[in-house]
Amino acid sequence: MRKSSFEDTFDRFFYWINWYTDLLVKVTEDKRVISFANEKKEIYEAFVLRICATWEIFVEELLVNCLNRDTSQYSNYKAVKLPKNLSSNVCMCLITGLGFFDFKSVGDIKGIAKKILVNKFNPFPAIPKKNADRIDEFLIIRNYLAHYSDKSKQSLMHMYKKNYDFKNFREPGDFLFANDKRTKQIRFANYIDSFLSAADEMGIFLGV
């Protein structure tokens, strides 16, 4: 049975993340296209949703790839007998049938993976904590931009206070477009680096 390709999954993720970030740089640096800071911030906010969608697709595809290699842990978790090797399409049905794709954090993803993947093909624990923490922050920002609800705003303000010692609320565009004194780049770039680094570490684990 043909195995799903780890390489294709990682290649697609890196391609789209790099494509989006390159496009952002072109748009925000070209004065013929845009010249006002507020408009640039609006563009960065819009791309938060794109980046998170790309990450979620990557995680789902990677879970399928890994389950495709060995279903033993899934069988134990569900207490059913399954062939060790199933097609990618069947693995996708098994994954999506669990209804797991409303994860709110990297911790959620790691918990799901631990339940259904054998250790040899579970790359998610390889995500460094510092990358996981930043990805979680980005997901909080995404939730606010997707809903603008009081609850999502409170979660974002809590993150600002806890991790950045902010006393007042800031819209995501202002926050993301501001320079980070430690890294000498805007915060949006810090988050992109964390997504890429997390994927790199998982790729190393899987030998990609």
Report pLDDT for 73: 95
Report pLDDT for 1: 46
26 located within any domain? yes
pTM: 0.91
Kindly write down the DSSP assignment for every residue of 30-93, as one continuous string.
Answer: -TTT---HHHHHHHHHHHHHHHHHHHHHHHHHHHHHHHHH--HHHHHHHT----S---HHHHHH
The total of structural domains in the chain comes to 1
C-alpha distance from residue 64 to each of 121, 130, 200, 208 (Å):
11, 25, 18, 16
Please, which residues have CB within 8 angstroms of residue 82's CB and are 6 or more apart in sequence? 71, 74, 75
1 located within any domain? no
pLDDT tens across 154-206, in order?
Answer: 999 999 999 999 999 999 999 998 998 888 899 999 999 999 999 999 999 99
Identify the domain containing residue 53 by its residue range.
6-206
**pLDDT band at 25, cuts 50/70/90?**
confident
